[in-house]
Amino acid sequence: MSFKVMAVCAGRHGGNGEILAKEALCAVQEAGGEVELVNLFDYNILPCTGCEGCTMQMGKVGAGLQKEYHGCVLKDKDDVDALVSEMQTCQGIIFAAPTYDLVPSSLYIRFAQRFLAYELSFLLAIGAVEENPHTVAGLISVGGSMHDWQSLALESLQATMFTMSLTVVDRFLAQRNGRPGNVLVWEDQLPRARKMGENIVRAIQTPVEERGWLGDADDGVCPNCHSSLIYPGDKHWDGIEFPWECAVCGAGGDLAIDETTGRPKLKVAENGLIRDRNNDAARAEHLNEINKTRDDFFLHLDEVKPLMERYAKMEFPTLEIERA
């Protein structure tokens, strides 16, 4: 079976993320896969305008009020559509992003927040994408510090995987890398990146229904997505509540000490995966929440219109920049 794996790098040219991504791709190539590397610094990526044009259209097409889905309003204005279209031809994607201020760099986030217009289950439903590529993903966060100063890095990368139904099978936090090439100083980082490439190939070559986690067994606190971020849960829009929730995938349950590792682990409740963001059906429920919020708003439109006008007319001193 032929397969293609793409690495999407958001770090410096010749930087640490790019070196790790290349090492992972070498393993893919040696296993007979076609490979591709893109560095986001080479592309024009506009920020999501927040217009909600994509989700509004999805609602209309779903309700039969609009025939065709035209996608993102920025589709012909930058390179994101070309990048995502290329990603859609791959069975595996490795994302390598540098950690800035605990989270993935803004360049990566700017790119990933455009994924909403490419919600896979919707594109499949309307036939815009013919076949689910069941794409698997490997995530690399690379930073100058250890976990304590990269505490939101991998989890934020994971959070960008859901809309395009990318299944994370491995993740790796590359630590203590400052200057470009720093990864080459450590004995374990290149082999770990290579292992990620091998894991991606293994996942691709495993039947979809048998695929599972191939990353480090003890990684994270959530047994569902392996994130380390569990927080005390609050009521959801429809009253559902869990004592503890995974900040990334939304699994709910209780915190317990794992007998083998002696470390805290989320014990997923019987119904704890009903909000699992990896699950297309659970995410469709979130679409219901969005639609309900929108419908409620439109019911109040007459009351809020004059208030909106009042705020639109309000003016405050701002910073004027003179442009030539």
If the CB atoms of residues 3 and 43 are measured against ligand FMN, the closer one turns out to be 43
Let me know: does 128 contact 68? Beta carbons within 8 Å: no
Minimum distance, C-beta of residue 184 to ligand FMN, in the bound complex (Å): 11
Minimum distance, C-beta of residue 43 to ligand FMN, in the bound complex (Å): 16
If the CB atoms of residues 180 and 223 are measured against ligand FMN, the closer one turns out to be 180
Q: Which two tokens stand for residue 129?
A: 């994408």
* Separation of alpha carbons 95 and 17, rounded Å: 9
260 CA to centre of own chain: 30
Q: Which residue is nearest to ligand FMN (CB)?
A: 11
CA distances from 68 to 50, 72, 79, 131, 272 (A): 21, 13, 22, 19, 36
For the chain, how are helix, strand and coil distributed in percent, rounded to 5?
A: 35, 15, 45
Q: Which two tokens stand for residue 286?
A: 């979130």
If the CB atoms of residues 17 and 92 are measured against ligand FMN, the closer one turns out to be 17
Q: What is the contact surface with ligand FMN in residues (CB under 6 A)?
A: 11-12, 15-18, 98-102, 142-145, 149-150, 177-178, 180
Minimum distance, C-beta of residue 130 to ligand FMN, in the bound complex (Å): 35
If the CB atoms of residues 69 and 95 are measured against ligand FMN, the closer one turns out to be 95
- The torsion of the CA quartet 218, 254, 162, 204, rounded to 10 degrees, works out to 40
Minimum distance, C-beta of residue 175 to ligand FMN, in the bound complex (Å): 7
Minimum distance, C-beta of residue 177 to ligand FMN, in the bound complex (Å): 4
If the CB atoms of residues 12 and 134 are measured against ligand FMN, the closer one turns out to be 12
